[in-house]
Amino acid sequence: MQEPSTLTLATPAARYVAATRPGFLVAAVIPVLIGLAAAGFEVVLDAVTAALTLLGAVLAHAGINVLNDVYDERAGCDAINADRVFPFTGGSRVIQNGVLSVADMAAYGWALMAVTVGIGLFLTALSGSGLLVIGLAGLLIGWGYSAPPLRLSARGLGELSVGLGFGLIIPLGTAYVQTAVFLPLAAWGGLPFAFLIALVLYINQFPDRRADLASGKRNMVVRLGARRARLGYPLLVTAAYLSLIAGVAVAGLPATSLVALPVLPLHLVAAWRFWGHAEDPQALRPAIAATLNATTAMGVLLALGIAAASWL
């Protein structure tokens, strides 16, 4: 896939859309679907607030992506990243390729976050103050992922923050909008996806590790080294599918959630592609794509499986 440029992105609209990394915003859609599926056991879903929740989650993710590019540029890691596997790693490249300036991106990112906050406050007025608490926690984690002084990703906490944000905060917040309570079912439904979205981040760190090390971004792959860090891949896959089984066995997840289990072989194939190429950035492209596709499939099937139980 070709990197963005002023030639390929001729209009301002195209440039600002590309800056959000739109191909990856599905990561915010899936946990909303999981939260709505969990809420469907308790209430008849309200279409308007469900749509606003989805919009808010996508805009929040877009804003975080844009601001992440800003802070990574200021830290220097994206500018020196010669091993990037575009479009998966190394950021959107709109700053480095002269499509948008750092100032433009910063203003854009904060504008997206402001709209997100507005949607969140409106939904809080409808559902209750609990949403404000969890929403602020989500925004803090998203901003602090790359922004100083927190720089969670540089402290080896990137996987934890991404897993919490996408796998727990979004499903819990989505269900809260519909029910005005925090549903354990939403948390258990989001837990497998939490591990898998952390996995997507984790594998993406392998190609970028040299640039990250040089710029002081000491994520888990940098800390462990590529060969030792390989073990994190099967561990996260195992945790994801075991948490799904445990959720059904002991935590009230409906048995129909197990419709997501057949995706496991896709993650195993991705792991096989990854294992022998962990130290070769460009050879990782098939494994990264396979990991993303398998994670998307698992998340969608999990949401459908939970929802199906409330329909039956």
DSSP per-residue codes, 121-153: HHHHHHH-HHHHHHHHHHHHHHHHTTSTTT-GG
Residue of 195, 273, 267 lying closest to 31 (CA atoms): 195
Residue 312, pLDDT above cutoff 80: no
CB 190 within 8 A of CB 295: no
Domain 12-311 bears CATH identifier 1.10.357: no
Those residues whose C-beta lies under 8 Å from the C-beta of residue 144, and which sit 6 or more positions away, are 150, 151, 152, 161
* Number of other CB atoms surrounding residue 181 within 10 Å: 15
* Number of other CB atoms surrounding residue 63 within 10 Å: 24
Across 199-210, average pLDDT? 98
pLDDT-derived band at 20 (thresholds 50, 70, 90) equals: very high
Return mean pLDDT, the chain: 97
Kind plus residue range of the DSSP H or E element containing 247? helix 232-250
Across 1-14, average pLDDT? 94
**pLDDT at position 307, please?**
98
Q: Give the model confidence (pLDDT) of 240-258 as tens digits.
A: 999 999 999 999 999 999 9
Across 203-228, average pLDDT? 97
Q: What percent of the chain has pLDDT over 90?
A: 99
* Number of other CB atoms surrounding residue 114 within 10 Å: 12
* Number of other CB atoms surrounding residue 249 within 10 Å: 10
Residue of 238, 262, 239, 251 lying closest to 188 (CA atoms): 251
CB 185 within 8 A of CB 38: yes
CB 130 within 8 A of CB 180: yes
Q: Give the model confidence (pLDDT) of 171-184 as tens digits.
A: 999 999 999 999 99
Q: Give the model confidence (pLDDT) of 141-196 as tens digits.
A: 999 999 999 999 999 999 999 999 999 999 999 999 999 999 999 999 999 999 99
Residue 123, pLDDT above cutoff 80: yes
Q: Give the model confidence (pLDDT) of 259-282 as tens digits.
A: 999 999 999 999 999 999 999 999
Cα gap 37→276, rounded to integer Å:
38
Kind plus residue range of the DSSP H or E element containing 31? helix 26-39
Residue of 201, 200, 232, 235 lying closest to 217 (CA atoms): 201
Rg (CA), the chain: 19
- Token pair of 290 as six digits: 């396979």
